Homo-oligomer: A and B are copies of this chain.
Amino acid sequence: MSTLRSSSPDQPAGGSPNDGPPAVVLLSGGLDSATALAVARREGYTPYAMTFRYGQRHLVEIDAARRVAAAQGVARHVVVDIDLRLWGGSALTADVEVPKDRDVSPSAQEASDAIPVTYVPARNTIFLSFALAWAEVLGADAIFIGVNALDYSGYPDCRPEYVAAFETMANLATAAGVQGGQRLRIHAPLQHLTKAQIVALGRELGVDYSLTTSCYDPAPDGTACGHCDACQLRLRGFAEAGSADPIAYADR
């Protein structure tokens, strides 16, 4: 049975709560979604954070999401259980080795049109669909998602045209849409930013990146491997932003 738990049911645990309109924020516990949450707050929204336990191997994400939600102050944080392992077909959810020390430079990514093995079929569509349901019940006209330029060089469901198509569909799916209510918008504020630009933006907004995790294959204690695509991209992002990554890595 899917369950929905509230990490901070009554009172935001930190930050200062906004009294602006509600927005649903997809929060994975990684660097990108932590930054997207900070942007939602800066834009005056009262954030409702939604995290998925979807059979991913890197469950330390969930703890990171709880820490980020508490630190930034959200109206409510829910963790939704869905099992995407049953589809198979992804290194993130199946017993497939996570690639290490690949060339993740932009030129190498552009040269390949292969979908990474870490792609999970329809993941963002499922996540956004749940966010849409919650947004409709909350009366929210905004959903924030942290997809960005690096993601959509590899994952089909991170591309700007995908996000736009989801928004169009969402506005036909809901009661508000039929009744001529306010138009729902899918906000992807990091869409055209590099990892270095995301780090710089997050620093400016006071995001505490020591609370986040990005590694696809962390040690049991949560220590990042430093060699998977996600670790490499994160480390390069901090380096290019001239900033130190505050999290621990296994052998760096």
Which residues of chain A from 172 to 212 have a CB within 8 Å of any chain B CB? 172-175, 177-179
Residue A159 is within 8 A (CB to CB) of chain B in the complex:
yes
Specify the chain B residue showing the minimal Cβ separation from A84. Answer: B133
Which residues of chain A from 123 to 176 have a CB within 8 Å of any chain B CB? 123-126, 128-130, 132-134, 136-137, 156-157, 159, 161-162, 165-166, 168-170, 172-175
Other-chain residue from B4, B115, B168 in contact with A178 (beta carbon distance below 8 A): B115
Other-chain residue from B119, B162, B179 in contact with A169 (beta carbon distance below 8 A): B162
Residue A250 is within 8 A (CB to CB) of chain B in the complex:
no
Copies of this chain present in the complex amount to 2
Residue A108 is within 8 A (CB to CB) of chain B in the complex:
no
Specify the chain B residue showing the minimal Cβ separation from A87. Answer: B137
A126 to B88, CA, bound (A): 19
Other-chain residue from B124, B132, B156, B175 in contact with A125 (beta carbon distance below 8 A): B132
